[in-house]
Chain A
Amino acid sequence: MTTDINFMVGGEAGQGVQSVGFLLAKSLTRGGFHIFADQDYESRIRGGHNFFRIRASDSAIGAIVEQVHILLALNKESIDLHRKELTSNGIIIFDGEKIKDTGSNTSLFSVPLERLAQEKAGNKLMSNTVALGAALGLVGYDLTIMDQVLREHFGADNIGQDNVKAARAGYEYARENFKGNFKQHLSPIGDTRIMLLTGNDAIALGAIAAGCKFMAAYPMTPVTSIMEYLATKARDLNLVMVHAEDEIAAINMAIGASYAGVRAMTATSGGGFCLMVEGLGLAGMTETPIVIIEGQRAGPAIGLPTRTEQGDLEFVLHAHHGEFPRAVLAPATIEDCFWLTIKAFNLAEKYQLPVILLTDQYLASSYATVSKFDLAKVTIERGLLFEPTTNEEYQRHKITESGISPRAFPGQEGVLVVTDSDEHDEAGHLIEDAETRTRMMQKRLRKLLSLKQEISPPQLYGPSKAEITLVGWGSTYGALREAVDILRKEKPSVNLLHLNELWPFPAKAVANVLAGSGNSYVIENNATGQLARLIRRETGVKVSGNILKYDGRPFTPAYIVQAVQEGRYDHGNGS
């Protein structure tokens, strides 16, 4: 890695932090850089403090870092809060004509953002675009790429032109007036045909690629943008997105649509999933395929509504009363969000059960550069379908060796599709007798045997045996992988065991890796070490300790490295 630079845009909600952050990331993407960017925002519409971090590198990266090289401070609070994160030669771009009392410091570089926006673009609201230009001017980036990105984003009309003027004003101001010692120069380095997208974008694309025709959901951070994306594309792609009255309705609508024969999904966060739990069991009992996106945030209750956590693992594994099979997948990267969403739809239909895709606020709203998805690799497996024969009466829940009954959809001549949330017989009619009940329970649970074979083994990064094995799941992959790289520079015997397909649990593969490691530590964004407990339950292996974080903020590589180097392990609060 010869280039590894971290920008931060900070300001109030409503100041355009998100749009400047995105445009900066997009401009750098077009120049061939690998990007990882995350968003930190408060649960409010105006005011407060938000920031957007954009890390650019000439090598693949999968995590954010704390140290900031260039801070675009749209308000004073951003300077006060983030000054300490600045590298020794880092620069703070701010509007010295608007922000006073900053003290004197060689890192401060004042650009008259608002005045330039007014003078050059005739609109002081474009001061954030001036800041974008100034940041790119500071590193001497390619001006034509920046112009192009702005025109695409704002349109080729006056608004687009004015934004280009504003950005150019900032760019030129920085080129002419910056006299500091910031040396890092960024020039385009290569492939410009790469995507820049969030975890939610990748899930939405995955769902559409998988043939999802129906989504019903209720808005909830951090998954709302999946709903919005599908709603926007619904007309062109012949799909339906229903904004339901509540999460209970949402999951039940999706179940109804799936019963009628289309691929259907819903999306929510932990709090909304609480309401969906009864529907989850309905899908399990009626063997109706359904995909549920659960974007975790810090709980319980409303918790930290805009912040990240991995606190719902045990919840999604056990949600609902009674016993029925389900699958739980937890994407490790933004690319994974796409492929595992497709896998979720295939598993749901092949095994006729609910599949939960467990992400979190960090993965949902972070951006990364990803190579274009190869659509030739997308497979659609709709599972066993009923083929009518002359004298066979259709039975929706026919008992088979695999436990999987052929599906049929209502509306076909000669076929009646009958199912019930009550225990039922093969024909789908409600029963109460002990023998049928036992046979139907066994039939449903038998599906787990073949479902288990579908679960990919966890990823092992680094040597196959190591003195220290870090274990993680879901969105922490990027930070853990980079932490292992850093640790191995001093101590080669470190590896990473990472799970992104969690249930049915790949017990054998996990046990094998842990058997070859000296000490194993589970790293989780929760307070009690839920994966560690799951490993113990499923493999009998008790890990050596945990590195836990439950402040609503994501892990960084440095945080993990420091915890390992200092031996700062805990054993799960109260567990």
Chain B
Amino acid sequence: MVTVADYSGLTSTWCPGCGNFGILNALKKALVELNLKPHQVLLVSGIGQAGKLPHYTRGNVFNSLHGRPVPPAIGAKIANPELTVIAISGDGDGYGEGGNHFIHSLRRNHDITYLVHNNQIYGLTKGQTSPTSDQGFVTKTTPYGASPPINPIALAIATGAGFVSRSFAGDTEHLSRMMKAGITHRGFALIDILQPCVSFNHKNTFSWYRERVYKLEEQAGYDPSNKLAALEKAFEWGDRIPIGIFYQQTLPTFEEQIPALRQGPLVKQPIDPKQIQPLIDEFI
């Protein structure tokens, strides 16, 4: 049996009270409940406070560059689909610097889970606007207020994602449920996580979110297979903020469609230079 102790890692350098703690605890809980052993899990992170998370638990870890957790996660998943691959990012990392990878990996539907710690601010560089900062939000780099934010939920639905969800770092129970659903979902699973930054975002605080979030699964009649309803819900932001699975549909994954992977993981395929003999003959 896997226990939470199997996932205890190094001591974190996060600020006391940081929303990241809830995310870390929820992830450990989800992995334990899925009975995954650390060696079966690959955590690929970007740069920022979220990017440090893999060091604070256990697993295989590839801590990549700023904005780039998704491409190496995809490469590793294709090389060895037996791994449970989780990419970990933040709003600046994933939606800003890594925006192009976000869009195209959704479209291709790689079988990975993508956790985006969305605190609507740049934390590690100490308090600048992020792609999800609320419009008008005043920061050190936007003294006259931030531009309108991107809407990752709507963007993901519009781009063809098969699993689009949002959760809240202050609700570990809900978050770990979303993570489990995302990890077990076959295909690309986005979990946008509302994460209070106690040091630099004094607007979108724990209590601010707590007063607003409500669970989609508790809404009578909400059907996460209805794409247009999901898209409409994705635009709800303000006094009420929905969390839960906005949209889910099982679609063919990128990996399933690769003929080479039907013979088993690439990492287990032997290397045989002689297999190119017929290719050489084609040039004769």
Contacts and interface: CB of A to CB of B under 8 A. Distances in A.
Interface of A: 193-197, 201, 205, 208-211, 213-214, 216, 233-235, 237-240, 242, 244-246, 248-250, 252-264, 278-279, 282, 286, 372-373, 375, 378, 380, 409-422, 428-430
A420 B75 contact: no
Query: Which of B40, B60, B269 has the most C-beta atoms of chain A within 10 angstroms of its own C-beta?
Result: B60
Interface stretch (B22-30, B61-69, B224-232): B61-69
Nearest to B277: A375
A242 B260 CA distance: 12
B73 interface: yes
Interface stretch (B76-84, B126-134, B167-175): B76-84
Given A245-B101, A420-B63, A216 B273 contact: no
A418 B41 CA distance: 11
A25 to B, nearest CB: 12
A263 B269 contact: no
B71 A239 contact: no
Given A238-B263, A372-B284, A417-B60, A256 B74 contact: yes
B80 A235 contact: no
A286 B82 contact: no
Given A213-B266, A257-B76, A234 B60 contact: no
A411 B52 contact: no
7 closest residue pairs by CB, A with B: A256-B75, A256-B72, A211-B271, A252-B71, A410-B60, A260-B79, A257-B75
Contacts of B267: 260-262, 409, 411
A375 B274 contact: yes
28 contacts: A194-B284, A195-B280, A209-B273, A214-B75, A238-B260, A239-B266, A240-B261, A242-B74, A242-B75, A244-B104, A245-B100, A246-B100, A248-B101, A253-B75, A255-B64, A260-B83, A263-B271, A286-B62, A373-B280, A375-B276, A375-B277, A375-B280, A410-B42, A410-B83, A411-B267, A418-B61, A419-B61, A429-B55
A242 B108 CA distance: 11
Contact of B71 (A194, A249, A412): A249
A411 B60 contact: yes
B276 A205 contact: yes
Q: Is the interface of B mostly helix, strand, loop or mixed?
A: helix
B76 A197 contact: no
B75 A208 contact: no
A193 B282 CA distance: 11
B253 to A, nearest CB: 13
A245 B101 CA distance: 7
A422 B63 contact: yes
A372 to B, nearest CB: 6
B153 interface: no
Contacts of B101: 245, 248-249
B102 to A, nearest CB: 10
B80 A249 contact: no
A260 B276 contact: no
A533 B174 CA distance: 62
B210 interface: no
B72 A375 contact: no
B39 A410 contact: yes
A33 to B, nearest CB: 14
Contacts of A263: 271
A42 to B, nearest CB: 27
Interface residues of B, number: 56
B259 interface: yes
A278 B258 CA distance: 28
Q: Is the interface of A mostly helix, strand, loop or mixed?
A: mixed
Query: Which of B54, B271, B272 has the most C-beta atoms of chain A within 10 angstroms of its own C-beta?
Result: B271
Nearest to A415: B39
B276 A254 contact: no
A378 B273 contact: yes
A575 B75 CA distance: 42
Nearest to B63: A420
Nearest to A286: B62
Given A235-B260, A411-B83, A375 B44 contact: no
Interface string B86-110: 0000000000000011011000000
A412 to B, nearest CB: 6
Contacts of B44: 256
A411 B40 contact: yes
B35 to A, nearest CB: 15
B280 A205 contact: yes
A286 B82 CA distance: 22
B13 to A, nearest CB: 9
Contacts of B180: none
B10 A429 contact: yes
Given A279-B65, A375-B274, A410-B42, 9 more contacts: A210-B271, A239-B266, A245-B101, A249-B70, A253-B74, A261-B80, A262-B266, A410-B76, A411-B83
A211 B266 contact: no
Contact of A235 (B73, B259, B266, B273): B259
B144 interface: no
Contacts of B82: 411
B275 interface: yes
B121 to A, nearest CB: 21
A257 B60 CA distance: 14
B100 to A, nearest CB: 5
Contacts of A420: 55, 61, 63
Contacts of B72: 252-253, 255-256, 259
B78 A411 contact: no
A239 B272 CA distance: 12
Contacts of A201: 283
B75 A255 contact: yes
B210 to A, nearest CB: 32
Contact of A282 (B10, B64, B78, B276): B64
A414 B38 CA distance: 9
B260 A257 contact: no
Nearest to B101: A249
Contacts of B47: 421
B58 interface: yes
Contact of B78 (A249, A257, A278): A257
A282 B65 contact: yes
A421 B75 contact: no
B145 interface: no
Contact of A234 (B37, B73, B260): B260
Contacts of A410: 39, 42, 60, 76, 80, 83
A231 B74 CA distance: 17
B113 to A, nearest CB: 15
A409 B59 CA distance: 12
B279 interface: yes
Contacts of A411: 39-40, 60, 80, 82-83, 267
